[in-house]
């Protein structure tokens, strides 16, 4: 199989070349964590004074399950000073907010080991922080994400999420928002089409659908989305959260079985401020990496077709 597919929302192109799975590879990646216990971990229970002060904590020090605090090394800062730009280029001050949600006090526990009820509570806290960020004057866009494993950019072994409030709208989010407006939402139309076709359906609940996107950038990429048009992740009610938690738990069991110590990112894709959108969650397994071709062309090489990936997630035998 060799096909070039285009993402209908962003224009990103993916070259599917399944034969590249068999290419020779002479390197072995070995990553040794510096910190395999909680002795020096700032995110573990009992080490609360090692971080900035919590803005949310569901129990006393040393006895909580979730804790949110400002990132000690933020990508954007609320007190960021204006700097003088250059007349030829466009520039904006990196004014915003960057928080960390530690979703377990256990240093070695990972999200795929959580119960569905625990995942539902995490989603609820993330909704609350999203709404808090949205109320801030300079926030134009909020990105919630979780890095799982060193290949996915995880810098601290202890399980955690990050929430960033940005003063600008990233190009990818802006492009997607343009196609998700009102009754003519392209995302809604895509979900209807995928339901009719069936071949890229990875999982389903009463309210949510999991698909392997037609032009996904990553092998075994997953999108989890509400079946009906919902503009804001923060608008989910309790029943919807429970439904999503079940589907997310189910999909994570299969993502983590793709290969030993697989890395992956979980990204909550929500709309820019005061903009219609069809929010969804993207799970991006990090199997293989980007190289010169991707960086030079902005076209991604993917070794696994979404149709093959969907069969894996549905538990069907390989053809």
pLDDT at 291: 78
Q: Which residues are registered as beta bridge partners of 264?
A: 148, 285
Selection from 250, 312, 315, 314 nearest residue 287 by Cα: 312
Assigned domain for 306 exists: yes
pLDDT at 36: 60
pLDDT at 27: 43
- Report, as ranges of residue numbers, the positions in the chain whose pLDDT lies below 70: 1, 19-37, 319
pLDDT tens-place string over residues 77-106:
888 777 777 888 887 788 899 999 999 999
Assigned domain for 170 exists: yes
Q: Which range marks the domain in which residue 149 is found?
A: 41-78+92-313
Assigned domain for 3 exists: no
Residue 103: which CATH number? 3.30.428.10
pLDDT tens-place string over residues 14-62:
888 776 665 554 445 556 565 566 778 999 999 999 999 999 999 999 8
Assigned domain for 5 exists: no
- Per DSSP, helices labelled H in 77-198 are 116-134, 171-178, 186-197
pLDDT at 26: 46
Selection from 229, 255, 231, 226 nearest residue 241 by Cα: 226
């Amino acid at each position: 199989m060799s096909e070039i597919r285009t993402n209908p929302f962003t224009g990103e192109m993916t070259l599917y070349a399944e034969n590249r799975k068999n290419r020779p590879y002479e390197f072995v990646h070995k990553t040794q964590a510096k910190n395999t216990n909680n002795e020096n971990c700032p995110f573990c229970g009992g080490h609360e004074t090692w971080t900035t002060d919590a803005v949310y904590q569901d129990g006393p020090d040393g006895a909580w399950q979730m804790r949110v605090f400002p990132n000690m090394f933020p990508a954007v800062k609320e007190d960021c000073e204006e700097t003088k730009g250059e007349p030829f280029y466009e520039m904006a001050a990196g004014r915003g907010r960057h928080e960390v949600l530690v979703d377990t006090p256990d240093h070695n526990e990972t999200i795929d080991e959580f119960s569905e009820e625990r995942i539902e509570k995490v989603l609820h806290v993330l909704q609350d922080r999203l709404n808090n960020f949205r109320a801030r004057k300079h926030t134009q866009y909020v990105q919630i994400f979780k890095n799982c494993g060193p290949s996915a950019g995880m810098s601290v072994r202890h399980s955690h999420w990050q929430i960033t409030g940005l003063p600008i709208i990233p190009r990818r989010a802006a492009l997607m928002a343009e196609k998700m407006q009102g009754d003519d939402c392209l995302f809604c139309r895509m979900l209807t089409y995928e339901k009719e076709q069936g071949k890229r359906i990875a999982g389903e609940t009463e309210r949510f659908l999991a698909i392997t996107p037609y032009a996904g950038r990553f092998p075994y990429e997953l999108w989890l989305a509400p079946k009906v048009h919902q503009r804001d992740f923060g608008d989910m009610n309790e029943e919807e959260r429970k439904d999503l938690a079940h589907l997310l738990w189910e999909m994570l069991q299969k993502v983590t079985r793709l290969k030993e110590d697989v890395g992956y990112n979980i990204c909550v894709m929500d709309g820019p401020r005061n903009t219609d959108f069809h929010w969804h969650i993207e799970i991006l397994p990090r199997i293989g990496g980007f190289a010169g071709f991707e960086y030079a062309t902005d076209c991604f090489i993917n070794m696994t077709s979404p149709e093959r990936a969907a069969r894996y997630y549905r538990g069907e035998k390989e053809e």
